[in-house]
Structure 1
Amino acid sequence: MSQRLIPNVVSIAGVDPSGGAGILADLKSFSALGAYGCGVVAALTAQNTQAVTGVHVPPTDFLKLQIDTLFADVKIHAVKLGMLGSAEIVHTVAERLAHWQAPYVVCDPVMVAKSGDHLLAKNAVSMLIEALLPQSFMITPNLPEAGVLLEQRAPETVKEMYRAVERLREMQPLSSERWVLLKGGHLPGNEVVDLLFDGDRMIEMPAPRIETKNTHGTGCSLSSAIAALLPQAGEFRRTENAVRAARDWLRGAIATSGSLQVGSGHGPVHHFHALWK
């Protein structure tokens, strides 16, 4: 029997000191799902469970050095992209990923804060669409982020989600396997519907809504869970299976989040719910 692959997965994202989102949450997700986590810092934030009070981005030369130094030594099996704070950062990341021919790039386009504030300038969004989405094996926008990418209001019904996910898929190469996971958590109701689309198959993934205020970092954690599972063999070889397994894991992390006591705002999910008994 061959030994199970332990993939090396890197998060290129921001740092949330509270550990609920960004690289620190990604590393927890990787570890919980059997992957070895690496991290490249694309932004520093002053942040807790209640607010983001400041953002600092590293010089692009140093960001490039981080990526090149890591990829020159460590075989990377998948990449998760999170907060990339400027057009220059987006361009640098896109250029280096193309140079290293990075596999399984999962892009979580962090563009809209929970407050509704836009986190990316318009030129950075354009650079994301032009340079990064074509390289991404999967993009995982929520509804407000889909609205920004499509330059329209966010979808407000599942029917509108169908049209939006089709248009988002058109931003990726049509001749190769690429996926869009459009997350419907912002819609009202007792059921959450996500749509997974590869240009051919439209897979509707409904689930009961879990009532909790502990939703900090759910998008980061889901996209990093998918990145951790995509390169693994066996039952996760098919993309759909990896996404379903990641969603099931995240639902468990949300459902058990009340056992943590982190901050007084939107708390984090419990990444290690299956491991900490």
Structure 2
Amino acid sequence: MPSVYSVTVSESNGLTFLDVDNAFATARISLFGGHILSFVPKSDNKERLWVSPHAYLNGERPIRGGIPVCWPWFSDDHGREKGALPAHGFLRTQVWKLVDSEESASGTTITLSPSFTRAEGFENDCTVTMVIAIGESMDVSLVTENIGVAAFDFNCALHTYFHVNDIQQTLLKGIDGQYKDKLDEWAVKPTPSPYAITGETDRIHLAPIETTEIEVGGDAFTEVISQGNDSLVVWNPWQGAASISDMDPFGYKHMLCVETSLTQGRMLAPGESHTLRQTVVPK
């Protein structure tokens, strides 16, 4: 059980949720998937995350929206045929454990760990820990530590669905260089400027981009700070949302995924650890 006053526990449809309410923000975390569902800073009382109204919140499927945890592979990059193993790995479909909770002058910190880190497709000795700090901003760190005697390679991502009022009035700032376009047989293309979302988008930007700003209607809304990443993924299904069973056909108008990611492979030596970190800053 949480040991701090700002965290309460609730249950619904067999899932357990941690609800944070402190002087700076409110947030909701599902222990199924170690999945952050909401972050509302009290500076403007506006939700920064988007969750599909048709998301499965009963443990039957990964949750559509919020911040899914992708580990130890991204998408279907697991070395086998597509569909042979679960997309984005196996952490987002297991129940996580609450390791610790703390309060300080800057907010509330929650530490979670998954039930297991070895499964088909990844049988290495390691620990995974997620540290979530809720204050004026929200800071999420996914820590992987090799506790075995052999090195291993892995990928991971914080697959964040950001809320936007109108995707057609949304611009991304701070992204440059080239990206791989999944919708065009992985063709390498230059980043558009200005960066607007005008149709179905599925791009892996091949650089450790640190700061990205989401601007909506001409005003800065959310800043995304990434650390420990080698890529930044931008995704919006556009009208393809109609073919996604757990997504509203028009849900694409109010969401944009900006994902702090390791997609090019990270080798972790025995005793070494890696932290993938995303900070969500209200503007």
Instruction: Establish whether TM, by shorter chain, passes 0.5.
Output: no
Larger proportion of helix: 1
TM-score normalised over the length of structure 1:
0.28
Larger proportion of strand: 2
